[in-house]
Amino acid sequence: MKIIEKVDELRSAVAAARNDEKTIGLVPTMGALHGGHRSLVERARRENDVVVVSVFLNPTQFNNKEDLRTYPRTAQADAAMLEECGVDIAFMPTVEEIYPEPDTRVFDLGPVAQVMEGAMRPGHFNGVCQIVSKLFEMSQPTRAYFGEKDFQQIAVIRAMAHQLGFKLDIVQCPCVREADGLAKSSRNVRLTPEVRRVAPNIYGTLRASLDFARHHSVEQTHDWVVATINAWPEMEVEYFSIVDGTTLQPVASWDDTSYIVGCITVYCGDVREIDNITYKQV
């Protein structure tokens, strides 16, 4: 595995691969790699000739500076995991390398980017689009891999790729969970033991709501999920939105559309956990 820190070096490496008509799979990450990332990398490995994994803690997508400050940084362990997965290129640039000058681009991606995380974390998706568009441009991937845990992020990246005319497949990969159901996340290491014990009830409640939803309205299901999770003193729901899985706009009835997803964020102590569940997909 090559560890590349310079953009020009990455460009030369992918140009050579492209010249040889090789397919390139890109897995963008912010490091602190876990089993969820591993599954993305393994899939990219199976489906492409060349696998590029970027490890870059992108400051422009953090609307909360404390979250950026406390985000786990594990570069050595990340490189070891990528090597073990048979990655060809680990792209590990500095902030100055990616942003030699401030990125002032403003993306307008319409309604998919305005609800949920877009409303709660102003500027977050703009920062995600800044870095992901740069990574697409620098690494010219045939396919790019993203985890379904960040359900809205995938929709926003699809909209950005479409708007900017990137020709690549955006591959949506299933959320990977701990044995007790908690979605794997780099931020999980920041949960206190007490909070870690109750956090699996986020997914437990979402799963139980599938049954509840069979006999109740969208509004009743929404209220039941929020009340059930909030009954644990260690957790507080920030939002739970039941939305059309494509447009991400709220639905009022189970008959509104053929694809319905519930997206949730919950404060577990001071760690913000995100998860989702599919109610309907036909």
Task: Please say if 37 is a catalytic residue.
Answer: yes
Residues 67 and 271: their CA atoms lie apart, in Å, by 9
Binding site for ligand PAF (CB under 6 A): 28-30, 58, 61, 128, 131-132, 150, 153
| Minimum CB–partner distance for residue 1 and ligand PAF (Å) | 19
Smallest gap from residue 270 Cβ to ligand PAF (A) = 20
Alpha-carbon distance 93 to 72, whole Å?
A: 17
**How many CB atoms within 10 Å of residue 281?**
9
Least CB distance to ligand PAF at residue 231 (A): 30
Which of the following is catalytic: 37, 215, 216, 222?
37
Q: Strands across the sheet with 169-173, in order?
A: 2-4, 89-91, 50-55, 24-29, 143-147, 169-173
> Are residues 25 and 50 in contact, defined by beta-carbon separation less than 8 angstroms?
yes
In the sheet that 259-268 helps form, which strands lie side by side, from edge to edge?
Answer: 235-244, 259-268, 271-281
Point out the residue whose Cβ comes nearest to ligand PAF: 28
Residue nearer to ligand PAF on the CB measure, 29 or 209:
29
Q: For ligand PAF, which is the closer residue by CB, 61 or 140?
A: 61
Of 169 and 236, which CB lies nearer to ligand PAF in the complex structure? 169
How crowded is residue 98: how many other Cβ atoms within 10 Å of its Cβ?
A: 20
Q: Which is nearer to ligand PAF, 32 or 213 (CB)?
A: 32
Identity of the amino acid at 258: S
Tokens of 94: 């500095």
**Closest separation in Å from C-beta 162 to ligand PAF:** 17
CB 59 within 8 A of CB 93: no
CB of 147 to ligand PAF, least distance (A): 7
Joined tokens for residue 205: 């409640």
For ligand PAF, which is the closer residue by CB, 187 or 216?
187
Cα gap 12→28, rounded to integer Å: 19
Bridge-based pairing of strands 259-268 and 271-281 is antiparallel
As annotated, the active-site residues are 37
